Structure 1
């Protein structure tokens, strides 16, 4: 009986310690963007966009993934191929915010930064607060978003 209780306690402690590590975080988004930027600089545009768009590739971690725009806001890479080639900068979020346009503005004026907006969470199907880290790398904008 003691072994069973000890095993349950160890399991609970492990679960408690590991769960926060599994949550999406701002640090994870920044790390993934920096990794993507290095890959782009090493491998070039074509290979980078192909890998960024690979839904089973190294730039997708659970629900967190890299996507990229050109400097006008046209989608260059995304795990959902239907979005590639589209410019949705004039499509607002649920509160009317032109967040994709802000991605471009932040990248062009600051080089990098965070943009907050409302977006449908694919897990909950609810409109939730999302924040995306954007970074201008040469002639593209590399992004990674997380739900808050």
Structure 2
């Protein structure tokens, strides 16, 4: 009989645990990019680059993170997951499907200041190439990018 009460207590406790972290949404990506823009406006571009490089939890949360590129040159200024691309101009390097999405990011940022770009990218969580959509937000001469993987 005691075992039944113990199992019931465990089951009740499990029902009150918070759900596992859900996949980030488009709203999460927009919010993270806007948080980055506010931080940049208050503290400067270099301070934001340091936050990204240091994988600050405000700007790196699992598969959702902010990176930054220069709008004029396309050079990656900061990337928390793949630091080997920092300092490189990958504007015309296509994704797995052949799309030059980085050029599209720069053009959209220059024309509209913000928006979404779809492409294929390696998911740091799964390690696989997956469809991704990224919210881009121009802040001065920089573009902040925060993307989510589509399921």
TM-score bracket, normalised by the shorter chain, equals 0.7 to 0.9
Q: How does 1:15-54 map to 2 (within 5 A)?
A: 18-19=19-20, 21-54=21-54
Structure 1 window deviating more from structure 2 (118-127 vs 100-109): it is 118-127
Q: Note the alpha carbon deviations across 1:48-68, whole angstroms, 9 max, x for none.
A: 111122124531112211100
Gaps of 5+ in 1: none
Residue 78 of structure 1 aligns with which residue?
79
2:10 aligned with 1:7:
yes
CA distance in 2, matches of 1:28, 1:111: 18
The equivalences for 1:101-120 within 5 A come to: 101-120=103-122
Q: State TM-score, norm by structure 1.
A: 0.87
- Decide which structure has the larger Cα Rg and report it: 2
Q: Distance in 2 between matches of 1:120 and 1:38?
A: 28
Whole-Å Cα distance in 2 between the matches of residues 113 and 31 of structure 1? 13
Mapped partners of 2:127, 2:59: distance in 1: 23
Report the number of matched residues.
145
Partner Cα distance (1:44, 1:54) in 2: 16
Q: CA deviation at 1:14?
A: 3.7
- Following superposition, the deviation at residue 144 of structure 1 comes to 0.7
1:136 aligns with 138
Unaligned runs of 5+ in 2: none
Deviation of the 1:26 alpha carbon: 1.1
Q: Does the aligned pair in 1 maintain the 2:63–2:123 contact within 8 Å?
A: no
Structure-2 residue corresponding to 1:66: 66
Q: How much is the aligned-residue C-alpha RMSD, in angstroms?
A: 1.8
